Structure 1
Amino acid sequence: MTATLSIPQTPLARPAATSRPRGRAWPWGLAAVGLVALVLTAWQVWDGAPSAYYASIALSMSQSWSNFFFGAMDPSGTVTLDKIPGSFWVPALFVRVFGYSTWAVILPNALAAVGAALITAVAARRLAGVRAGLLAGAIVAVTPIFVAVSRSNQPESFFVLGLSITAWAAIRAIQQRSFGWLVVAGAAIGLSFQFYMLEAWAVWPALAAAYLATAQSWARRIGHLLVAGAVSVVASLWWVAIVALIPAGSRPYIGSTLGDDPWEMVFGYNGLGRFGATSDSSAYESFTPPFSGDPGVFRLFNAQLAGQIAWLIPAAIVALVVLWLLRFPRPLALLLTVWLATFGAMFSVVAGMHQFYTSALAVPLALAVATALAWSARAGKAWPAVAILASAAVTAVGIAFSVGGYSIPVAIVQALIGVVAIVLLLSRHRARMVTTAAMVVGLLLTPAVWSAVTIAHPNSINPVAGGVSEMASGFGGRGGTAGGAQTGGAGGFAGAPGGAPGAGGAGGMAAPNGGAGAQDGTRDGRGARSGSGTTGGQGATGGAPGGTGGFTAGAGGFGGDQTALLSWLEQNRGGATYLAATFGAQSAAQLIVASDGEAVLPIGGFNGTDAAPTLDRFISLVESGQLRYVIAGQDRVGGPGGASVGAGDSSTGTVSAQIRSWVEQNCTTAADAPSTVYVCGTVAGGSGA
């Protein structure tokens, strides 16, 4: 017998019954959870539709260690992405080892999702035993929006993985009153910061409150928290500090900043700007994706979000009440309660967001529901499970009837099976395995179906689950969709009137003609996708309606004939360093991916407003013969839904607009190019105007 088993039990220690699971239920069950997560996130991943912008980042980062460290958006290291590059380090390594492909940039996220489900299961097992662990892992595995984003190359999956590691370490720290595990939890928050920045720190209120509630002296608790907090700060900010110390001329321009400053990128653009904390656009860039409706108390139940994440929110609230009523160890109950409340409040008040931001709720939701069910079973109480099952069934039916389509019969089946589970729970003679199976189906059938349907509807621009881009949109009425973003009214459970088909309701976006631009159409020989809908939608990589974010046919660029344009550029390149320059990183991304990583100059960066390159630098590149071609198109200003800066428009005063004006005055258009291409400088041996 190990030393661990000889330690007397305390109120916060793991129960003896959970330290040695019966039979093989745990390993086989954990394997099943991992397999479900892997199938849902990785099946047919090679046929996915990666975001060209994020794909170009992984490809560019794979080409040099400098690009890898800074998170360079383009192979020549002109400008970085608009985030700390932590979530792209593993995909970049995959591309470096295996070469660029769709699966190489998406599979790492799928594997991160599998890891998150398994680690959450391990964490929940420490809370309330094997059944809690397996159920928590299953909840994470079938959370629809988490499945959707994990089938893309968006940077969310690694963040959820970091949260699951944080939960595991935090639970151990609280159960054992362990300074060492508290430091590990703080470091895990720092790791999560590398994946998704400030959102990671939202775990600290829960961790601090729970640790302060443990039975130790105040001096000891506060001292431990201060040290763990310091570790967390260092683990969070080391990249930002290093980059800030490197001279601007020795690194790429920091994307989406006014001052080429990594601190501004993290705390301004990705911090205050997300919450609409200031209207002073001269202070920093702001970015508020318009995909999740207006902020408010019931936002998580609106048209855009309910079907993605809300299935178990009422059940989790009931579960937290159960834990407090059944005298679950108070520090652990406090951890789960404050964590879920903090994240729920954060997603309710942030000015704008993609639906997939809410996938971070999967971990606390899973821990709360699974722990409450297992704890009530251990206490011999049936009413908590009845209350949780009933709330889940009512929620599923409410969402389903608001959404319509296949969700209605599925939710009805879930509700009926939930009733069966309740009857079995209340009966004196019940088969344990049958009851457990009925409870799982009564909780998870509808979200599991939404997750499965997502496999056939890849969308890496604005990932959403359940195939909603091809059906009536969400919880509050029917409406059109744009690039997978649900539209319709922002109504709640009762189903407020939504927008008409093709017209965005509150918080929605209309896509009159065409879908997600380059996401549609056929795949060329190098893995790029040709756009088939260029009159509307989101352009190549999620720009504003009308294609302002990418190469659209109307903008004279990469729309219906990107292969011909790429071929023309390669044939006429001569000895130029750059294949071409484009206005905005969105447009450059497609060329970078389609050309297998050739140098393309992204004028203006992600939003089209970055001072990279400067006008003097651009002219120098032209005069030295390093750059010859500039592809006409539109800048993207202010993120999705922002204004576009078309040809001839220099009214914004941005460096990008200055360069555009210079190009129009000093360059000519190539007569034989398949799209509008400006020829700048002398083109020896190439195609003239």
Structure 2
Amino acid sequence: MQVKKRQKTDWYLVSVLLLGAFLYGWGIWDAGSANSYYTAAITSMTKSWSNFWYGAFDPAGFITVDKPPVALWFMAISAKIFGVHGWSVVLPSVLAGIGSIFLMYKLLVPKFGLWAGRIGALVLALTPTVVANSRTNNMDAILVFFLLLAVFTLQKAVSRQNVWLVIISFGLIGVGFNIKMLQAFMILPAMLVFYWVAIKLPWKKKLAWLVVGLASLSIFTLAYPVAVDSVDKSNRPYIGSSQSNSLLELAFGYNGTERLLGQSTGTGGAFPGMGNTSKSSKSGTNKTMPGAKKSGNSKANGKMPGQAPTGKAPGGTAPTGKKPTGTPPNKNVKQGKGIAASKQGKPTGNMQGGGNSAFAIGSAGPFRLFQSDLGSQIGWYLPLAILGLIAGWFGFRKRGAKWYHISEEQSEVLLWAGWFVPVYGFFSVASFFHPYYTIMLAPAIAALTAIGVSAVVKMSANNSKHALFSRILISIAVLSTLLLQSYYVWSYYPVISVILIIMAIILAIWWLMPRQMNNRIKILLSAIGILAMAGWWSLTPTLSHNSAAIPAASPSLLSQQGSSDMGGDVNNQLLSYTKQHQGNAKYLFATTDSNSASGYIIKSGKSVMAIGGYNGTDPTMTLSEFKALVKSGQLKYFVMGNNSKTSSGQISKILSWVKKNGTKISYSSTTNSTQTQKMGGQTQASTLYDLSSIYQ
């Protein structure tokens, strides 16, 4: 009887996994509230099964967050086990990031070998936006893990010709939909093409299996939103950021077409091409969007990628270990709500999680992802991926085969190209997204880079003609990658940028020389050159212990400490007063928007009503319904929060009624009824109104 050979531990993989664990997990004990919007929801979800099921933002279950709750379920379970802490709500993202590294390795090894798996895992681990995303409680790291798991399962389904694995793989995309909605569907073209090309079945059986897989996708996609939407609206929370209290409307509107075409609901106007250069912006008339998603209504307080660090904290003061305060250092910045705009109309702000970086997405076009705004987060290996796609397709062709005969390796190239191209295209033209969403490209970039290396090695080993072609390809790849990286590095470290340029030219020439010119040294120097600064950018969130609401990697993080959030601040005097006088009221108080409420929910565990949802504009109730709530004694106090000046529709009517009929309360012996506090460099007014005497 043949004894099965025991598989040896790949210590290279173990090393990369440990590196990932360090990058993603070190310092998360300083996460603070991470993204306080979601941390408030996690706090609420630990208090009741209803809140857990719906993803309720507040303990009373008045409104949900703006996404389905599947990712938050993992975070809430972690918080229930360990308590609600910054590190406990971030922990699932850390584990998802590590899991994604492992899946990348497992996806590449079967067809391209151990070194391809190792390279792909390392590139993914050292992608700056992957590190930043895996250190916060946003959904993206968990979404990417589930998408990779879906692709891994489909790969197994193809190799084993197993219909149940086909069903599971497409079902996992449905789970991904209930993490971040239509963003999960961006890889569907890749899966469909790969399945059809790679699985070796009679076409009728192949089609039948695909129909069953798509049925699984439909069921797992629609089961949760249909179940929620079918519940009587008076018996469940309002669906945050929707206009009709519907999860399906949220999916195909605010989290669907508006992401591509621009935000147009709940904000009082269209939102064409945030961060794009247009005629109006060139003339200095670029308007900011009231209540723009995750803008935080902050003033510009720092620098974007491509600007040199000053050695000062973002608020303009020297780092002291305390949260930065002060006025923005950039005098050209208009102090508006939402996205700060410069006199030239271009977005300004730092990439360290502050509100102003939320829409620093560059100018729309085919090279947007190479620009410093997005490229400094995702673009470090883009030339390698593009050239890797070309090398992989031609390097793994069957010799003498017809053009339409696709090898098994080529089908894998199609899989990753099918992931890369549509996602690249979306980010090139879309108008409404955040820079950290580009983590969606990271797996495809890592895989195509590793496949390209494997293909070049194969070609160079075949014959002299292919060896020359492979050397030319490597020369172009090294030159273009290092020159692009020198562009990202220049504003922070000009000397290093010059070194990268010199290194790029020398290595490019060296690679064109015959193979006998010490290949190992060339490989080592090329790897060090390509990974060094990308690795440094990836290290910055870890060294700064950063767990940001708008996650990003940048050396500017090193001038601040801990997490950065566009909400979550608490006026302790206001909190103490409302807790002391809440009585039997259901809500501690109501306020305009979620960011004004989140910190109070986290700190007190009490119900704070974010009447307008995230942007302060959700039509959650009418004025008459609000009056009835006050008259019944369920609500005694109202706080004018971040978005009190930008609310519209029914919410605007409610605010006007509160100002006209409510009584301003002085909740401190040292100030009047309008208290002020510092929030990320700006002064925040917190006006408290007593509504309890209106109907007495």
TM bracket, shorter-chain basis: 0.7 to 0.9
The question of 1:449 aligning with 2:546 is answered: no
Q: Quick one: distance in 2 between partners of 1:397 and 1:333? A: 26
User: 1:425, CA displacement in angstroms?
Assistant: 9.8
- The residue aligned with 1:677 is 688
Aligned to 1:275, the other structure's residue is in SS state helix
1:238-637 matches, cutoff 5 A: 238-276=223-261, 290-327=359-396, 329=407, 330-379=410-459, 380=461, 384=470, 387-388=473-474, 390-401=476-487, 403-410=489-496, 427-428=515-516, 437-457=524-544, 458=546, 460-468=548-556, 540=567, 558=570, 562-595=571-604, 597-635=605-643
| Aligned counterparts of 2:126 and 2:471: Cα–Cα separation in 1 | 20
Residue equivalent to 2:201: 216
Q: 1:232 to 1:106 in 2, by over 3 A?
A: same
> Are residues 281 and 661 of structure 1, via their aligned partners in 2, closer, same or farther at CA, if it must alter by over 3 Å?
closer
Is 1:162 aligned to residue 146 of structure 2?
Answer: yes
Q: Relative to 1, partners in 2 of residues 1:672 and 1:184: Cα closer, same or farther, differing over 3 Å?
A: closer
Which whole-Å deviations, capped at 9, do the CAs of 1:273-317 have from their partners, x for residues lacking one?
111179688999987763212322111112311111111111111
AA aligned to 1:391 is A
Shift in Å at residue 172 of structure 1?
2.6
The 1:291/1:409 distance shift into structure 2, 3 A limit, reads same
Q: Which runs of 5+ in 2 are unaligned?
A: 272-291, 294-357, 398-406, 676-686
Q: 1:176 to 1:162 in 2, by over 3 A?
A: same
Which residue pairs with 1:661 in the alignment?
A: 656
**Per-residue deviation at 1:634?**
4.0
Q: Distance in 2 between matches of 1:313 and 1:110?
A: 24
Letter in 1 for 2:553: A
Q: Quick check: 1:386–1:425 contact (8 Å CA) kept in 2?
A: no
Please tell me whether the aligned partners of residues 391 and 455 of structure 2 are also in contact (alpha carbons under 8 angstroms): no
CA–CA distance in structure 2, aligned partners of residues 660 and 280 of structure 1: 20
Amino acid at match of 1:576: A
Letter in 2 for 1:124: L
Is the contact made by 1:140 and 1:363 (CA closer than 8 Å) also made in structure 2? yes
The 2-side partners of 1:459 and 1:592 are apart by 19
Of 13, 20, 25, the residue aligned with 1:37 is 20
Q: Compute the displacement of 1:384 (Å).
A: 3.6
Shift of 1:414: 6.2
Q: Is the 8 A contact 2:589 2:637 kept in 1?
A: yes
> Structure 1 pair 92/416, CA: closer, same or farther in 2 (3 Å)?
farther
**Using a 3 Å threshold, how does the CA distance of structure 1 residues 402 and 106 change in structure 2: closer, same or farther?**
closer
Structure 1 residues 669 and 2, CA gap change in structure 2 (3 angstroms): farther
Kindly tell me: are residues 521 and 314 of structure 1, through their superposed partners in 2, closer, same or farther at Cα, counting changes over 3 Å? closer
The answer to whether the 8 Å contact 1:295/1:350 transfers is: yes
Structure 1, residues 24-77: CA drift from partner, whole Å, max 9, x if none? 4x2x12211111111111111111251221211111111111111111111110
Aligned pairs, number: 574
From the superposition, tell whether residues 279 and 455 of structure 1 become closer, same or farther in structure 2 (CA, over 3 Å): closer
Deviates more, 1:274-283 or 1:675-684: 274-283
* C-alpha distance 417-41 of structure 1, shift in aligned 2 (>3 A): farther
Instruction: Please give the TM-score of this superposition, normalised by the length of structure 2.
Output: 0.75
Q: Are 2:481 and 2:530, in contact at CA under 8 Å, matched by a contact in 1?
A: no
C-alpha displacement of 1:405: 4.4
Counterparts in 2 of 1:389 and 1:592: CA distance versus 1, 3 Å? farther
Alignment of 1:25-104 (within 5 A): 26=10, 28-49=11-32, 50-104=34-88
Cα deviation for residue 683 of structure 1 reads: 11
Deviation by residue 1:316-343 (Cα, 9 ceiling, x = unmatched) = 1111111111125332221122221111
Contact 1:414 1:443 in 2 (8 A): no
Shift of residue 394, structure 1, vs aligned partner: 2.9
Q: Is the Cα contact below 8 Å between 1:592 and 1:598 reproduced in 2?
A: yes
Q: Deviations over 1:114-164 (max 9, x none)?
A: 111111111111231111111111111111011112222221110111122
Give the secondary structure class of the aligned counterpart of 1:677: strand
- The 2-side partners of 1:282 and 1:566 are apart by 29
Identity of aligned residues (%): 29
Q: Verify the 8 A CA contact 1:191 1:235 in the aligned structure 2.
A: yes
- Distance in 2 between residues matched to 1:412 and 1:237, nearest whole Å: 53
1:644 aligns with 2:671: no
Secondary structure of 1:635's aligned partner: coil
Q: Deviations over 1:244-283 (max 9, x none)?
A: 1111111101111111111101111100111117968899
Distance 1:310 1:365 in 2: 9
TM-superposed deviation, 1:601: 1.1
How has the CA–CA distance of structure 1 residues 672 and 277 changed in structure 2, closer, same or farther, with 3 Å as cutoff?
closer
Structure 2 CA distance, aligned partners of 1:239 and 1:186? 16
The one-letter code of the counterpart of 1:679 is D
Distance 1:388 1:423, change over 3 A: closer
The 1-side partners of 2:229 and 2:547 are apart by 35
Which runs of 5 or more residues in structure 1 are unaligned? 6-18, 472-519, 524-528, 530-537, 542-550, 552-557, 637-642, 646-651
Deviation (angstroms), 1:417: 7.3
**Counterpart-to-counterpart distance in 2, 1:389 and 1:95:** 50
Question: Aligned partners of 1:389, 1:199: CA distance in 2, in Å?
Answer: 35
Sort the Cα spacing of 1:389 and 1:137 in 2 relative to 1 into closer, same or farther, 3 A: farther
The aligned amino acid for 1:462 is I
8 Å CA contact 1:294, 1:352 repeated in 2? no
Distance 1:372 1:400 in 2: 22
Q: Give distance in 2, aligned partners of 1:625 and 1:285.
A: 38
Distance in 1 separating the partners of 2:614 and 2:526: 46
Q: 1:253 to 1:280 in 2, by over 3 A?
A: closer
Quote how far apart the aligned CAs of 1:587 are.
0.5
Distance 1:248 1:414, change over 3 A: same
* CA distance 1:618–1:106, change in 2 (3 Å): same
Task: In structure 1, give the amino acid aligned to 2:609.
Answer: L
Higher mean C-alpha deviation, range 240-249 or range 332-341? 332-341
Report the alpha carbon displacement of residue 410 of structure 1 after superposing the two structures with TM.
Answer: 4.9
> Contact 2:364–2:430 at 8 Å: present in 1 too?
yes
TM-fit CA distance, 1:87? 1.6
The more displaced of 108-117 and 455-464 is: 455-464
Whether contact under 8 Å (2:478, 2:526) holds in the other structure is: no
State whether residues 243 and 266 of structure 2, in contact with CA within 8 Å, keep that contact through their aligned partners in structure 1. no
Q: Which amino acid aligns with 2:590?
A: A
Q: Distance in 2 between matches of 1:325 and 1:140?
A: 24
Specify the SS of the correspondent of 1:213. Answer: helix
Asked if the contact 1:611–1:656 (Cα under 8 Å) also holds between the matched residues in 2, the reply is yes
The answer to whether the 8 Å contact 1:414/1:446 transfers is no
Q: Answer whether contact 1:257 1:284 (CA < 8 A) is retained.
A: no
Counterpart contact for 1:254–1:260, Cα < 8 Å: yes
Call closer, same or farther: CA 1:436–1:345 in 2, change over 3 Å: same
Q: Does structure 2 conserve the Cα–Cα contact (< 8 Å) formed by 1:40 and 1:147?
A: yes
CA distance in 2, matches of 1:408, 1:193: 43
Question: Which residue does the alignment assign to 2:684?
Answer: none
